[in-house]
Amino acid sequence: MTTGVKVIAVLKENGYGLGVANMYHIIKDQDIFMYAVTSPCEAIALREEGCKADILMLTPIQEYSELLLMATLDVVVALGSEKQIPELRDVYKFTGRKPRVHIQIDSGLGRYGFNVDDIPNFKKCEEFLSIEGCFSHLAGSKRNYRRSVERQVRMFKVALEKIRATGVNPGICHISNSKAALTFGALGFDAVRVGSALLGKVPVDSGLEEAVWLESKVFSVYNRLEGEHIGYNGETFLKRDSDLAVVRVGTGCGVGLIQKGALDFTFLNIIKNILRRINEDPVLSVWINGKQSPVIGRIGVSHMTVDVTENSVKEGDTVKVQVNPLLVHPYVRRQVI
């Protein structure tokens, strides 16, 4: 992806479930300006893997011990609350070295950061802090994404002007996440934060190829006749003679747990779900021998049933399953190919 601005690679949540070390070694030779994480253990892992680039802690930590550790590791900390300021001052007094920070602004997500209407005077903090950047996180919108982003960018710019008005240079400014970066670019700022796009998982038509999947093997193949019921509670009714395959992965491995978004209990959506059940639309499709085959019936904890009537399948064939790696159990081996 060419952006024309600095790229901050987000490896939060243990590299989105792939492992911080795995993700780092995949992208470390790319033109990465800074890495971003959400927990001290991820920052430690990056340093242990030999990462000498700047690391940004996106979550505003407050405990003195964690702030001291981050300063010792030369990690940039998100400053999103006045409660952090006394602790950061104490870190400076102990080390004699100014902790590095990016000021965090809440432009609409309502999670972390300073409210735009309540920006502190950061000038007095420069005696013991190295203010090197300022950022916010886009909340997005289901209805009018562009308008929502434009509103949040305006709020972010207001916060930046308030910071500059106190005589403080906000430094590197960034607000675009993966979706915004692929839709609008850097939105006029200095950097973009790219996380889910590294996995090819972005809810826009990006042209990116999804880079993560779960692999298993076909355990058995058997035939069932038209009219038979299969699966838990006999929920699935076969409308034809069918070749079925058992694959020994299920919800315990993260299969079928892909988050689709907020639950929608509107009347129209309830009707759509009823129609899906009537039409027996597949819960999930998997890839076997380069061809999609539908999963039928309820997915179990450790297995699922696949309709391979239209696919020439034998025991031992490789099965590829779309998953959210964050939901895949830690015992499942991660492999970079």
What CATH code is carried by the domain that includes residue 262? 2.40.37.10
Residue 271 is predicted with a pLDDT of: 65
* Local structure of residue 289 (DSSP, 8 states): T
* 268: pLDDT strictly greater than 90: no
Verify that 258 and 282 share a domain, yes or no: yes
Question: What integer is the mean pLDDT of 229-238?
Answer: 85
Q: Please report whether residue 204 resides in a domain.
A: no
Question: What integer is the mean pLDDT of 15-25?
Answer: 92
| Band (201; pLDDT cuts 50, 70, 90) | confident
Residue 202 is predicted with a pLDDT of: 78
Q: Please report whether residue 334 resides in a domain.
A: no
| Band (336; pLDDT cuts 50, 70, 90) | confident
Q: Please report whether residue 208 resides in a domain.
A: no
Q: Please report whether residue 77 resides in a domain.
A: yes
Verify that 194 and 304 share a domain, yes or no: no
Q: Which residues are CB-neighbours of 297 under 8 A, at least 6 positions away?
A: 230, 231, 232, 235, 236, 304, 305
Nearest to 89 by CA among 78, 98, 81: 98
Question: What integer is the mean pLDDT of 9-27?
Answer: 93
Q: Please report whether residue 71 resides in a domain.
A: yes
Highest mean pLDDT among 81-85, 281-285, 293-297: 81-85
Amino acid in the structure at residue 256: G
Verify that 227 and 166 share a domain, yes or no: no
Residue 295 is predicted with a pLDDT of: 93
Q: Which residues are CB-neighbours of 276 under 8 A, at least 6 positions away?
A: none
Q: Please report whether residue 312 resides in a domain.
A: yes
Q: Please report whether residue 207 resides in a domain.
A: no
Residue 94: alpha-carbon gap to chain centroid: 35
Look at the block and give the residue holding tokens 């759509």.
Answer: 272
Last residue of a domain, one of 199, 228, 254: 199
Verify that 164 and 230 share a domain, yes or no: no
* 2: pLDDT strictly greater than 90: no
Verify that 231 and 144 share a domain, yes or no: no
Verify that 251 and 316 share a domain, yes or no: yes
Verify that 192 and 156 share a domain, yes or no: yes
Q: Please report whether residue 1 resides in a domain.
A: no
Residue 214 · residue 254 · CB < 8 Å: yes
Residue 257 is predicted with a pLDDT of: 76
Last residue of a domain, one of 174, 199, 224: 199
Question: Which CATH number covers residue 171?
Answer: 3.20.20.10
Average pLDDT, the chain: 89
Phi first, then psi: give them for residue 269, nearest 5 degrees.
Answer: -70, -35
Q: How many domains does the chain have?
A: 2
Verify that 192 and 224 share a domain, yes or no: no
Verify that 116 and 188 share a domain, yes or no: yes
Name the residue range of residue 262's domain: 214-327
Last residue of a domain, one of 141, 164, 199: 199
Alpha helices in the chain (DSSP H): 12-16, 20-27, 40-48, 64-72, 84-95, 145-165, 178-184, 267-279
Question: What integer is the mean pLDDT of 69-98?
Answer: 97
Verify that 303 and 267 share a domain, yes or no: yes
Question: What integer is the mean pLDDT of 291-316?
Answer: 93
Rounded-to-integer distance, Cα 169 and Cα 330, Å: 43
Amino acid in the structure at residue 161: E
Task: Express each pLDDT in 97-125 by its tens digit.
Answer: 999 999 999 998 888 999 999 999 999 99
* 261: pLDDT strictly greater than 50: no
| Band (63; pLDDT cuts 50, 70, 90) | very high
Residue 3 is predicted with a pLDDT of: 60
Highest mean pLDDT among 98-107, 206-215, 289-298: 98-107
Verify that 277 and 319 share a domain, yes or no: yes
Residue 270 is predicted with a pLDDT of: 60
Residue 317 is predicted with a pLDDT of: 96
Could you please report the per-residue DSSP string of 227-285? T-EESGGG-EE-SS-EEEEEES--GGGTTT----SS----HHHHHHHHHHHHHT--SEE
Residue 153 is predicted with a pLDDT of: 97
* 82: pLDDT strictly greater than 80: yes
* 48: pLDDT strictly greater than 50: yes
Report the 10 Å Cβ neighbour count for 247: 23
Nearest to 172 by CA among 78, 83, 99, 109: 78
| Band (273; pLDDT cuts 50, 70, 90) | low
Question: What integer is the mean pLDDT of 252-267?
Answer: 64
Verify that 188 and 278 share a domain, yes or no: no
* Local structure of residue 12 (DSSP, 8 states): H
